[in-house]
Amino acid sequence: MSVELPFAPVDSIIRRNAGELRVSADAAEELARRIQQHGSALAVDAAERATADGRKTLMAADFDVEQVIDRGELELPVAPVDRIARLRIDDRYRVSMEARVALADVLEDYADNVASAAATLARHADRRTIQAEDIETYFALFA
């Protein structure tokens, strides 16, 4: 599975959690891959909710989001998030714009949590750079 999410916004999310630490390109790539996996799994769950409600359109509520933020507040771009949402769901489903923004918001929160933990792991290892292994270690410990 190719990674749909551009690495630059993921790198920005890691950097806002990194403080004085540097960020390796591999860390951004690994986190982008993990965000994509998580997003496509959330979309599968959302599609099941929509089907149970007799809908073919995924809505923000299907992602457990009640208040949709303005898309301009997000670091993650909505178009790739839309492609991520469609990776593992049937083509018969539509994804509303509010659902795309809601999923991007959920994924950005997810990325912030992982990035913060990865920064802690890098500091604990007495390194000045967050690396892919910090992302991998987070998931080995907490996923």
- Each residue's pLDDT tens digit in the chain (143 positions)? 677 899 999 999 999 999 999 999 999 999 999 999 999 999 999 999 999 999 999 999 999 999 999 999 999 999 999 999 999 999 999 999 999 999 999 999 999 999 999 999 999 999 999 999 999 999 999 87
Neighbour-count burial of 60, counting CB atoms closer than 10 A to its CB (0-12 exposed, 13-18 middle, 19+ buried): buried
Q: What angle do CA 36, 37, 41 make, to 5 degrees?
A: 115
CATH architecture, range 7-136: Orthogonal Bundle (1.10)
**Domain chopping of the chain, boundaries:** 7-136
Q: What is the pLDDT of residue 82?
A: 95
- Please name the residues in contact with 81: beta carbons below 8 A apart, sequence gap of 6 or more: 5, 39, 100, 103, 104, 107
Query: Does residue 41 sit in helix, strand or coil?
Result: helix
Q: What is the pTM of this model?
A: 0.95
